Structure 1
């Protein structure tokens, strides 16, 4: 069984955070005696630093217990470092990518990985992506945009052109939503994260970006957010409004089948509906391990999506 949605923090990354804790405002806070310390970066992004995030032996042991034969590791979104100056963003990305590449080389049968890039600086992000894939990574995990820029904006063109050339996997995974209406009852996580994915995925679809960069392998976390569920509304808008149809060569429901989606939905009816809409070759197993809501092993699905997603990338010399 494959798992395309897991997270890990290598030792070199953790050491860098400790050495640069004042620069990136990293704090280790004990909130609950029954839990591990929370790591908070930039006085903003915090999460429980569970042992499985940083202990490779434990991660691999739990992987084996769960029956997961191969897992794709991703950096954690809390360490994207998009809010920091370019030097910090690039340094973190390169350390993270190099560390993950070393893990993959040690355990090629058990692990693959995507890296991270300084997305706020698209030309540098293109360069770092190239470096990461030359070390054996499959692409990059990225947020749904940066500041006021959506991923379909020309701002990101240098990065997207390189990712397209390399046939990279771009795993789109948001941080918590900062919508002030959601600051209660865990809603930034419960609906904020899939909402951010929905906005990003809908914008990409309606912009025609996938036609401009047809070799991109766009994987949306958490089953694509709410987009698949509302695709009928987009199709109806396509029929009625030129603002919706002008950049598209087919109805939105057809573009829905050109992306990939993980199974992090935790509901069989939702997963069945997604597979019916996009096809089993566009859905890959994912668990979100080891974050709080993760379920390991992930829901098992056909390997067709895994084979298509992991198809041949450009050989980098």
Structure 2
């Protein structure tokens, strides 16, 4: 199995965190060594466990789960899009170098995605090029920068650069909408996060951005594409009925599903079957959201348990699709 959606958080010190933000920079309090906290300045942001920052522990858990390879990316809190570009660029270099270090002892098992200062297109493109030269496999971005969605011309230009550079892109939701109405029960993660992902996909479709971007762009959306697959019929109906929906989108929205991929992190066999039906088995990639509590607790079990899909489909989702998407050489594992 190849897990293409997993996170890490480097053992950043309070001093290092000030590269990004002197008051509320993110850093790691390792606690007792087994469990600790992600910190923002002096405040605890989230409890975390050792596998998030310790590659040796990560590899032990991958062995136990039967995962041959894992693609890791930064925890989205590290993006830094709200900071001045020069700070964010220095910060991205630091985080990316630590990501490479995290993978260094097992480069065939652990492979990193880069982060970039996405608020500055030129700086972001430079960091993509630097990351590729340093052996990073692709790039992870947030699904928006402030009020700018992925159809913003500067962000479309960045995606075009990734296509030209041959760097795959993982889009991860973050900084979720409507937080003031969702103060309890982790509702931003349960309601707004899937909506954010659907928003980013529809922004690219309905704006006509996919018409302008090269087909060589390899782009994948986390968490099964959020609410996109379930609501695609509603979107197609709106496109047929309202000219304001189809103004910039010359084809039905459903015709663009061959332009992107999604991961399999949906936690329900019925949802996974729908996702495969909508996207096609070749565009669903195994991802766990490891090692967070909202991730897949038994990696691969959902795919193995889903009825109505054959062993060839399971193998493609669990492994082969990631090899193709990231341009990796396979093994017999």
1:176 and 1:192 in contact (8 A); partners too: no
Q: 1:167 to 1:55 in 2, by over 3 A?
A: same
1:6 and 1:289 in contact (8 A); partners too: yes
TM-score computed with the length of structure 1 as normaliser: 0.88
Q: CA deviation at 1:280?
A: 0.7
Q: CA deviation at 1:101?
A: 2.7
Match of 1:297 among 293, 296, 299: 299
1:26 and 1:43 in contact (8 A); partners too: no
1:205 and 1:256 in contact (8 A); partners too: no
1:138 and 1:168 in contact (8 A); partners too: yes
Q: CA deviation at 1:221?
A: 0.6
Q: How does 1:229-244 map to 2 (within 5 A)?
A: 229-244=230-245
Post-superposition Cα deviations, 1:76-126, rounded to whole Å, max 9, x if no partner, equal: 101111122223211221112122234445323212221100011111111
Say which SS state the counterpart of residue 199 (structure 1) adopts: helix
Q: CA deviation at 1:248?
A: 2.9
2:307 maps to which residue?
A: none
| Residue 151 of structure 1 pairs with residue 150 of structure 2 | yes
1:315 maps to which residue?
A: none
Q: CA deviation at 1:246?
A: 3.3
2:251 maps to which residue?
A: 250
Aligned CA RMSD, in angstroms, stands at: 2.6
1:82 maps to which residue?
A: 81
1:149 and 1:155 in contact (8 A); partners too: no
2:18 and 2:25 in contact (8 A); partners too: no
Say which SS state the counterpart of residue 170 (structure 2) adopts: strand
For structure 2, the 5+ residue unaligned runs are 304-313, 329-333
Q: How many residues align?
A: 309
After superposing on structure 2, the runs of 4+ consecutive aligned residues of structure 1 that deviate more than 6 Å are 27-30, 42-45
Q: 1:24 to 1:67 in 2, by over 3 A?
A: farther
1:201 maps to which residue?
A: 201
Say which SS state the counterpart of residue 114 (structure 2) adopts: coil
Q: How far apart, CA to CA, are the structure 2 residues paired with 1:98 and 1:231?
A: 39
Q: How far apart, CA to CA, are the structure 1 residues paired with 2:177 and 2:71?
A: 28
1:281 and 1:306 in contact (8 A); partners too: no
| Residue range with higher mean Cα deviation, 176-185 or 136-145 | 176-185
2:322 maps to which residue?
A: 306
For structure 1, the 5+ residue unaligned runs are 313-317
2:58 maps to which residue?
A: 59
2:220 and 2:260 in contact (8 A); partners too: yes
Q: How far apart, CA to CA, are the structure 2 residues paired with 1:239 and 1:114?
A: 38
Q: How does 1:1-317 map to 2 (within 5 A)?
A: 1-11=1-11, 13-14=12-13, 17=16, 23-26=22-25, 36-41=35-40, 46-179=45-178, 180-214=180-214, 215-295=216-296, 296-298=298-300, 299-300=302-303, 301=314, 302=316, 303-311=319-327
Q: 1:18 to 1:160 in 2, by over 3 A?
A: closer
Q: How far apart, CA to CA, are the structure 2 residues paired with 1:73 and 1:139?
A: 10
Q: CA deviation at 1:185?
A: 1.5
Q: CA deviation at 1:145?
A: 1.0
Q: 1:97 to 1:270 in 2, by over 3 A?
A: same
Q: CA deviation at 1:216?
A: 1.6
Q: CA deviation at 1:194?
A: 1.1
TM-score computed with the length of structure 2 as normaliser: 0.84
Q: 1:192 to 1:14 in 2, by over 3 A?
A: farther
Q: 1:231 to 1:273 in 2, by over 3 A?
A: same
Q: How far apart, CA to CA, are the structure 2 residues paired with 1:57 and 1:184?
A: 35
